[in-house]
Amino acid sequence: MRRVKLPFAKGLEVEFVDRDRAIQQVLEWGERGTSSPIVVYGPEGCGKTSWLIQGVEVLKDLGYGVIYFNPLRKEFEVEVGIDSIRGRVLELVREVTSEYALAKYVWSVVDFVNEVLRQGRKKLTVIVDDVFQYLEPRLAATFVKGMLELIEHPVESYEKIVAIVATSEGLSRYEIGRHLWAWLMPIWNMSKGGFEELYGKIPNPKPPFEDVWRLTGGNPRMLSRLYQVDWSVNTIINILIDEKELTSIFIGRWRSWLELAVEDPDTLWRADTPEELVKELIKKNLIFYQIRDRDERLWIDEPPPKKDLELGIGRYVAWQTPLHREAVKKALHLQLTY
């Protein structure tokens, strides 16, 4: 398998590493196709996009044509052996000026799939990555239903379709989960061994691996961000406080609950936990809520440990990374000093 090279930071590319089981899952889907869309959800920055890009190479090797849509990266790629369709897609991408504008074209994915099938392509993979953050949860669910229609009621017969939708947007996951339109599968941050391999590709000087592991919990985006700020943990924490809008009003309102949750995230699983707080933490992509049983058959790649409070992982709830938890801790402290 050819391992793709991926941008890690300005001036630094790294080869795809780890996720062996996740790649094997792509191979299995490629052998039989998917009977419904696979909706993959997990912490932001956990490596979903890297896995999907590597997965595209795997599916190409199996003879699949590929339609890949990622507005965040301003990518809309079609490799199906039909020049006229590829040309139209390239023109579309040239016309838009931002990821927000490109996201409006998500339904054109369905149109392109139908056209490709009409022109006789028999094996096709459709991958839609990181689009739900630009859509209301209801519209995200409707799009997934549209993907299911492609599989169950195609405009032309086909041999196999592999359809994958990936998101880190928690609220859309719950809206999609209310229906039977997709197979939802979570993915977690990288395993410790795989993460150490990625860490090894970063040039020195750098902090000891165990320190980086305890800060990131295996999240490759957090590793990249730390590298880009010369390993200044406080800088990343301050950025997260700003990005997640951990204002004095928010912290003051939920202080007692947040103080408990930074010690044990399963506090948020209690029956008396305010539903509004949970929704806010999910919306801010601070926590991973209602974690599935650790049965590997229910997960992409390896599931997280059943509980690891050092990394902020509970049985039912986890902080997306230890740095997310540290941002909340600092915001709690700052609110006290006002």
Residue 35's pLDDT is 94
Confidence of residue 180 (pLDDT cuts 50, 70, 90): confident
How far apart are the C-alpha atoms of 298 and 296, rounded to whole Å?
A: 5
Kindly report the pTM of this predicted structure.
0.92
For residues 253-261, give the mean pLDDT.
97
Residue 274's pLDDT is 98
How far apart are the C-alpha atoms of 43 and 288, rounded to whole Å?
A: 7
Confidence of residue 174 (pLDDT cuts 50, 70, 90): confident
- Give per-residue pLDDT as tens, 68-116: 999 988 889 899 888 888 899 988 888 888 888 888 899 999 999 999 9
Q: Residue 163: pLDDT above 70? A: yes
- Give per-residue pLDDT as tens, 185-201: 999 999 999 999 999 99
Stretch(es) of the chain classified as CATH 3.40.50.300: 5-186
Confidence of residue 132 (pLDDT cuts 50, 70, 90): confident
- Give per-residue pLDDT as tens, 220-235: 999 999 999 999 999 9
Lowest mean pLDDT among 62-66, 104-108, 159-163, 239-243: 104-108
Q: Residue 258: pLDDT above 70? A: yes
Burial label for 172, CB within 10 Å (0-12, 13-18, 19+), is buried
Q: Residue 268: pLDDT above 90? A: yes
Contact 182, 165 (CB under 8 A): yes
Contact 268, 289 (CB under 8 A): yes
Considering the four listed CATH numbers 1.10.540.10, 3.40.50.1000, 3.40.50.10680, 3.40.50.300, the one that applies to the domain covering 5-186 is 3.40.50.300
Confidence of residue 338 (pLDDT cuts 50, 70, 90): low
Peptide bond before residue 205 is cis, with ω within 30 degrees of 0: yes
Confidence of residue 173 (pLDDT cuts 50, 70, 90): confident
